[in-house]
Chain A
Amino acid sequence: MQNGKIGARLKRIIRLHELPSCPASWHNGYKRQRGGYLFSYASGHSRKDVEGMITERDVEHIGMLADIAILREELGEFTASFNRILEYFDILDQVTGDETDEDVAVNVFREDEVVPSLPPDDVLSNAKETEDGFFRAPRVM
């Protein structure tokens, strides 16, 4: 904390954003990305070749895990952006401390009292596939 008259402080601050070495390390990832080297790895490298790199096969696997289909032609763009973004996230490796939140609210309840359910028409009105009051879904087996 520093106190002082506004003129001096203004000067100080202007100096801050004139100097690229100011403490804002949050743009580390941004700088690296601008260097363009993220694109310098040709596809075909496995993760073992370049440590931490996500391959197209990894992206396909993540798509499976997330239950999202990926079109062949989308794979390259997803792979490239995943790598840029995850590389930016690497900055979290520097974080110390734990995740416990001391001042969070606890014990929020409702009483065990019945509240009317939705009218049947409202329940099914948004579903396109219904049968005898049931929703219809693709087969699971």
Chain B
Amino acid sequence: MNVIVGLEIHCQLDTKTKLFCGCSTDYRTDGPNTHVCPVCLGLPGSLPVLNRKAVEYALRVAKALHCTVPEESVFARKNYFYPDLDKGFQITQYDKPLAVSGYLDIEGDEGEKRVRITRVHMEEDPGRLVHKGGTDRPRYSLVDYNRAGIPLIEIVTEPDLRSPKEARRFLNKLRATLEYLGVFDSEKEGSLRVDANISIEGSERVEIKNITSYKGVEKALTFEVTRQKNALRRGQKIVRETRHFVEARGVTTSARSKEMEQDYRYFPEPDLCPLRVADWVDGIVLPELPDARRQRFMDQYGLSLIHARTLTGDLRLAEFYEKVAGTDPALAATWVADTLLGELNYRDMSISSVPPDVFSGLLSLVRARVITDRNGVDVLRVLLDELKEKGTCESPEACVERLGLRALPADSAGGDDPVTKAAREALAENPRAVEDYQNGRKEALNFLVGQVMRKTRGCAKPADVNRVLVSLLGKGA
């Protein structure tokens, strides 16, 4: 049973002002209805005027997705009644979109894969509704039009994706591409929304509307695959319908059939002029995109494909890596890709909350063996906790000193260094292990190493401990 998935992705373009008026798009920290004017409030008599930057941004996307930009594109009104729609219609593009027929290469389930892009068009975001009076039966809605008129691009793919995981990978790659282009900020809440079409080969298609997170897409699709496969196994038919994804419960629920019967009565927006911007495309110089940067990371820093892919999969991460790569790109790659990302994920933090100089400082300490790798991880955890709590943190050196995690010396001639002392103690306290070792059971050494590490609170370098223990055991102490 083959799974067939197509996506419609709505992304907010990161312009300073809205699509059709001069209101600031920087509304997220302000109160409701503080970023509105006659135009985005739909006051009678107001008229839209198109933001040139939004068109430039959309064309960058079109070019990066290898789309064709037709000679002329036209804005249209999509008519439907909803209180978040200030004018009773949404200005969008319909039969003459900005760009068509592109593609994006992704890492698919079976290697490199080309996902075809049907179209890219521009439209305005509606306002935001808050339902009052409980979730089951709201008594009324509250409306905030700050979001109304934020520029969106809608990117529509062909049904080329074959699994929820592929859909997730596509989204990640698309997000990275848009961020590299400098037209999108994935960290802004609600900046991306996805509608997904999914079917099991040979069955009807189901549309899942308004998924608002990257993880949500994979979850919603996974739920849907299971639901549809189970239904088919039971001999039921899949009905063509629209479903909503309930993020909190991780399930999709059927939307009322009324929504499917919508007749949007599209017609050209008489208050805006057609766009003839095909000739702008040649003038657009695209920045380095994820694939190119991945190759460069491999060439320039000697990274593995996996590290390079991970580190270039997110613009901020890639930039962070380049800032900390410094003298030891391999060490930095391991620490960023394998350690830092996991710790950030665990704390639900973003890479932008980590000052690169702090992390570089930590790397230097590790590299100079001032702290052990293990204590390096501990220091990192402490610093991240501080950052999460206060937004700032102490220097890695200060943290090491405060916690007394400086690596211990183990090379004094007289054998009175802390590592040798700890090793002597460990041997004295564990005669059985010593005996086992001397009887040829080499794994007893691992136990003894562990004992020494515990006594030195991880501040001994594992190599030192090994060397000292072997030497002491050899002397038959």
**A residues bordering B, Cβ < 8 Å?**
65, 67, 104-115, 117-118, 120, 123-124, 131-141
- Rounded to whole angstroms, the CA-CA distance of A139 and B131 in the bound complex is 7
Determine which residue in A67, A109, A113 has the highest number of CB atoms from chain B within 10 A of its CB, and name it. Answer: A109
Establish whether residues B32 and A65, one from each chain, have CB atoms under 8 Å apart when the complex forms: no
CB < 8 Å neighbour of A107 from B16, B54, B133, B277:
B277
Establish whether residues A140 and B83, one from each chain, have CB atoms under 8 Å apart when the complex forms: yes
Q: How many residues of B contact A (CB 8 A)?
A: 49
Establish whether residues B138 and A134, one from each chain, have CB atoms under 8 Å apart when the complex forms: no
Establish whether residues A110 and B142, one from each chain, have CB atoms under 8 Å apart when the complex forms: no
User: With A106-B274, A134-B144 in contact, is A114–B130 under 8 Å at CB?
Assistant: no
Establish whether residues A109 and B49, one from each chain, have CB atoms under 8 Å apart when the complex forms: yes
Establish whether residues A114 and B140, one from each chain, have CB atoms under 8 Å apart when the complex forms: no
- Rounded to whole angstroms, the CA-CA distance of A104 and B271 in the bound complex is 12
Pairs of residues from A and B, 10 with the lowest C-beta to C-beta distance, nearest first = A115-B22, A112-B53, A134-B142, A137-B83, A109-B52, A133-B32, A135-B143, A110-B49, A106-B276, A108-B273
B38 at the interface (CB under 8 A from A): yes
Which single residue of chain B is at the shortest CB-CB distance from A119?
B34
User: With A110-B50, A123-B36 in contact, is A138–B41 under 8 Å at CB?
Assistant: no
CB < 8 Å neighbour of A135 from B33, B53, B81, B273:
B33
Task: Provide the main secondary structure of the chain A interface.
Answer: loop
- Rounded to whole angstroms, the CA-CA distance of A115 and B18 in the bound complex is 10
B37 at the interface (CB under 8 A from A): yes
Which single residue of chain A is at the shortest CB-CB distance from B141?
A137
Establish whether residues A111 and B53, one from each chain, have CB atoms under 8 Å apart when the complex forms: yes
Residues of B within 8 A of A140 (CB): 82-83, 129, 131, 141
CB < 8 Å neighbour of B17 from A104, A114, A136:
A114
Residues of B within 8 A of A139 (CB): 131, 133, 137-141
Q: Would you mind naming 10 contact pairs between A and B with Cβ atoms under 8 Å apart?
A: A104-B274, A110-B51, A112-B17, A115-B22, A131-B142, A134-B32, A135-B83, A135-B142, A136-B141, A140-B131
> What is the 8 Å Cβ interface bit string for chain B, positions 2-25, against chain A (1 contact, 0 not)?
000000000000011100011110
Establish whether residues A118 and B41, one from each chain, have CB atoms under 8 Å apart when the complex forms: yes
B201 at the interface (CB under 8 A from A): no
B263 at the interface (CB under 8 A from A): yes
- Rounded to whole angstroms, the CA-CA distance of A141 and B15 in the bound complex is 33
CB < 8 Å neighbour of A133 from B21, B24, B33:
B33
Establish whether residues A136 and B142, one from each chain, have CB atoms under 8 Å apart when the complex forms: yes
Which single residue of chain A is at the shortest CB-CB distance from B54?
A112
- Rounded to whole angstroms, the CA-CA distance of A141 and B24 in the bound complex is 30
Residues of B within 8 A of A132 (CB): 32, 142
- Rounded to whole angstroms, the CA-CA distance of A110 and B52 in the bound complex is 6
User: With A135-B142, A136-B140 in contact, is A123–B277 under 8 Å at CB?
Assistant: no
B115 at the interface (CB under 8 A from A): no
- Rounded to whole angstroms, the CA-CA distance of A118 and B36 in the bound complex is 6
Cβ of A31 to closest chain B Cβ, rounded Å: 31
- Rounded to whole angstroms, the CA-CA distance of A118 and B131 in the bound complex is 25
B431 at the interface (CB under 8 A from A): no
User: With A117-B35, A123-B33 in contact, is A108–B144 under 8 Å at CB?
Assistant: no
Which single residue of chain A is at the shortest CB-CB distance from B136?
A141
B275 at the interface (CB under 8 A from A): yes
B55 at the interface (CB under 8 A from A): yes
- Rounded to whole angstroms, the CA-CA distance of A114 and B33 in the bound complex is 16
> What is the 8 Å Cβ interface bit string for chain B, positions 79-104, against chain A (1 contact, 0 not)?
00111000000000000000000000
CB < 8 Å neighbour of A111 from B52, B137, B263, B276:
B52
- Rounded to whole angstroms, the CA-CA distance of A124 and B143 in the bound complex is 11
Residues of B within 8 A of A108 (CB): 49-50, 272-273
Which single residue of chain A is at the shortest CB-CB distance from B15?
A112
